[in-house]
Amino acid sequence: MATRRVLVTGAGSGIGKGIAAYLCNKSPAKHGVMITDLKLETAQAAAEELRAAGGNVIGAYALDVSNKDSIRDLMAQLQDNPPDVLVNNAGIQHVSPLEDFPDDKWQLLVDVMLVGCASMTKAVLPSMRENGYGRIVNIGSIHSLIASKYKSAYVAAKHGLVGFSKVMALETADCDITINTVCPAYVMTPLVEAQIEGQAKAHGMTREQVVAEIFLKPMPKQAFISLDELAGTTEFLMSDHARNITGQTLALDGGWTVQ
């Protein structure tokens, strides 16, 4: 597989960092990754860690995907070395009944996870067209396909991402550009680990009970999705073997949505 330049949003930690780590180090292709995060120091710390592990890191950049000026500044920095692949991963969460959901917080979630993905896609498409190759991988969620109470903004944004991807697949069908949405169930990250501990404390349950009864119960496979699974799926979508897979929604959900 050819070595590609891959821009990952929200790559300072969690899923984004895991995808970046796999692509720049574990993959035989040793793709060059561009680490972006809301805070420059977070992106730089992740980049230094990945470089120390032997990863092929092109650079670390500050990026607020909900801010058009921030996107414009980043693309200006990358104009001589634009990404071949965009991984739209940046995301945030807020849990609340709609009646109590702050309006500004609701708007922010949609701006980051839906409008931000559209803005980033718009920014990279010209160079991808010029270079004759492009892959856009949107990191959706099981909540791109199902709903949960108190997550109205998150679910709305992630559902919207699926529709956006389908439209962009049609608009890029005339060239070697694809766009797909990968929808994992729970991925074991520090954020999920903290949620497990919080749920255990709130419900007076053991960690093992929370994992079995709250997190994994809907999944027939009864297993968390690993970062390498998610990253490996991303890399497959980057490959020539997947050049005719576009506008698709790939569920890494352990069988959750087949029931």
The average pLDDT across 160-175 equals 98
Break the chain into its structural domains and give their ranges. Answer: 5-187+226-252, 188-224
pLDDT value, residue 199: 84
How does pLDDT run across 182-214, given as a tens digit for each residue? 999 999 888 788 889 888 888 899 999 999 998
> What is the third-level CATH fold of 5-187+226-252?
Rossmann fold (3.40.50)
Residue type, 75: M
Burial of 83 (0-12, 13-18, 19+ CB in 10 A): buried
Query: Would you mind telling me the total number of residues written for the chain in this entry?
Result: 259
Classify the phi-psi angles of 150: left when phi > 0, otherwise alpha if psi is within -120 to 50, otherwise beta.
Answer: left
Examine the residue annotation and report whether 154 is marked as an active-site residue of this protein: yes
The answer, yes or no, to whether residue 251 has pLDDT greater than 90, is yes
The answer, yes or no, to whether residue 102 has pLDDT greater than 90, is yes
C-beta of residue 17 within 8 angstroms of C-beta of residue 48: no
How does pLDDT run across 9-63, given as a tens digit for each residue? 999 999 999 999 999 999 999 999 999 999 999 999 999 999 999 999 999 999 9
The one catalytic residue among 22, 133, 154, 186: 154
The average pLDDT across 225-241 equals 97
pLDDT value, residue 33: 98
The average pLDDT across 73-95 equals 96
pTM, full prediction: 0.96
